[in-house]
Chains A and B, each alone.
Chain A
Amino acid sequence: MKKRRVAAAAVTAALAMGLAACGGTSTTGGESGQSAAPAAKAEFNAALTKVFNPSTKKGGTIKFANSGDWDSLDPADTYYGYSWNFIRLYGRALTMFKSAPGAEGATVVPDLATDLGKPSEDFKTWTYTLRDGLKFEDGTPITSKDVAYAVARSTDKETFPNGPTYLKDMLNWPKGYEGPYKSKDVDFSSAIETPDDKTIIFHLTQPYSGFDYLAQMSPTMPVPKAKDTGAKYREHVISSGPYMFEKNEIGKGFTLVRNPHWDPATDPNRPALPDRIEVQTNVNADDLDNRLMSGDIHIDVAGTGVQPAAMSKILPDPNLKAQTDNPTLQRLWYTSISPTVKPLDNIDCRKAVLYAADKTGYQSAYGGEFSGGQIATNLMPPSIPGAQPFDLYPSGPDGTGDLAKAKEHLAACGQPNGFETNIAYRAERPKEKATAEALQQSLARVGIKLTLKPYPQADYFSLYAGKPPYVVENKLGLAVNGWGSDYPDGYGFLQQITDSRVIRETGGSSNISVRIPEVDKMFDQSLQEADAKKREPIWNAIDKRVMEEAVILPGVWAKSLLFRPKGLTNVFISDSQQMYDYVALGVQ
Chain B
Amino acid sequence: MVTYIIRRLIGAVIMLLIVSMATFAIFFLVPQIAGATPEGMASRYVGRTASAETAKLAAERLGFNDPLIVQYGRFVKGVVAGAEYDYGPGVEKCPAPCLGYSFITRQPVFPDLMNRLPVTFSLAIGAAVIWLLAGVGIGVLSALRRGSFFDRAAMTVALAGVSLPIFFTGLVSLLVFAYGNPFSWAAQGGHYTTFLDSPVQWAYNLILPWVTLAFLFAATYARLTRAGMLETMNEDYIRTARAKGLGERKVIVKHGLRGALTPIITVFGLDFGLLIGGAVLTESAYSLPGLGKYAVDAITNQDLPKVMGVTLLAAVFVVIANLIVDLLYAVVDPRVRLA
Contacts and interface: CB of A to CB of B under 8 A. Distances in A.
A181 B287 CA distance: 38
Interface residues of A, number: 47
Interface in A246-277: 249-252
B286 A287 contact: yes
A293 interface: yes
A287 B115 CA distance: 23
Interface string B30-50: 000000000000000111111
30 contacts: A7-B49, A10-B49, A79-B48, A157-B49, A161-B45, A161-B47, A161-B48, A161-B54, A162-B47, A163-B47, A164-B49, A181-B89, A228-B88, A230-B89, A230-B90, A232-B88, A232-B106, A234-B106, A250-B105, A252-B115, A283-B189, A284-B190, A284-B287, A287-B188, A288-B190, A288-B287, A290-B175, A290-B179, A293-B179, A294-B188
A287 B174 contact: yes
Contacts, number: 125
Given A280-B190, A291-B179, A157 B90 contact: no
Contacts of A228: 88-89
Interface in A214-246: 228-234
B294 interface: yes
A157 B47 contact: yes
A291 B88 contact: no
B11 interface: no
B171 interface: yes
Nearest to B51: A7
Contacts of A320: none
A163 B105 CA distance: 14
B107 interface: yes
Interface in A139-187: 156-165, 181
B87 A232 contact: yes
Interface of B: 45-51, 54, 57-58, 61, 87-90, 92, 105-107, 112, 115, 171, 174-175, 178-180, 188-190, 284-287, 289, 293-294, 297, 300-301
Contacts of B171: 286
A165 B286 CA distance: 38
A250 B107 contact: yes
A162 B294 CA distance: 22
A141 to B, nearest CB: 22
A295 B88 contact: no
A153 to B, nearest CB: 8
Nearest to A286: B171
A230 B285 CA distance: 35
A232 B293 contact: no
Interface of A: 2-3, 6-7, 10, 65, 68-69, 71, 77, 79, 156-165, 181, 228-234, 249-252, 280, 282-284, 286-288, 290-291, 293-297
Contacts of A280: 190, 287
Contacts of A287: 174, 188-190, 285-287
Contacts of B178: 294
B101 to A, nearest CB: 11
Contacts of A288: 190, 287
B180 A295 contact: yes
Contacts of A6: 48-49
Contacts of A249: 115
B46 A296 contact: no
A240 B39 CA distance: 37
A160 B46 CA distance: 8
Contacts of A71: 47-48
Nearest to B289: A252
A165 to B, nearest CB: 5
Contact of A229 (B88, B115, B180): B88
The interface centre, meaning the residue of B50, B106, B171, B284 with most chain A CB atoms within 10 A of its CB, is B106
B83 to A, nearest CB: 15
B57 A158 contact: yes
A291 B189 CA distance: 8
Contact of B48 (A69, A159, A162, A250): A162
Contacts of A160: 47
Contacts of B87: 159, 230-232
A65 B190 contact: yes
Task: Give the 5 A-B CB pairs with smallest separation, nearest first.
Answer: A230-B88, A161-B47, A294-B180, A231-B87, A287-B189
A231 B106 contact: yes
Residue of A10, A161, A249 most packed against chain B (CB within 10 A): A161
Given A230-B87, A232-B87, A234-B106, A165 B289 contact: no
B54 A157 contact: yes
B13 to A, nearest CB: 30
A290 B174 contact: yes
Given A161-B46, A163-B49, A284-B287, 5 more contacts: A229-B90, A230-B87, A232-B90, A290-B174, A296-B190
Given A69-B297, A252-B289, A284 B49 contact: no
Contacts of B48: 2-3, 6, 71, 79, 161-162
B49 A161 contact: yes
Contacts of A284: 189-190, 284-287
Contacts of B286: 284, 287
A428 to B, nearest CB: 15
A232 B92 contact: yes
Nearest to A282: B297
A252 B288 CA distance: 9
A161 B180 contact: no
Nearest to B283: A284
A234 to B, nearest CB: 7
A6 B49 CA distance: 7
A423 B88 CA distance: 47
B92 A231 contact: yes
A346 B92 CA distance: 61
A231 B174 contact: no
Contacts of B61: 158
B190 A291 contact: yes
A124 B80 CA distance: 55
Contacts of B88: 156, 159, 181, 228-233
Contacts of B112: 251
Contacts of A65: 190
A296 B190 CA distance: 10
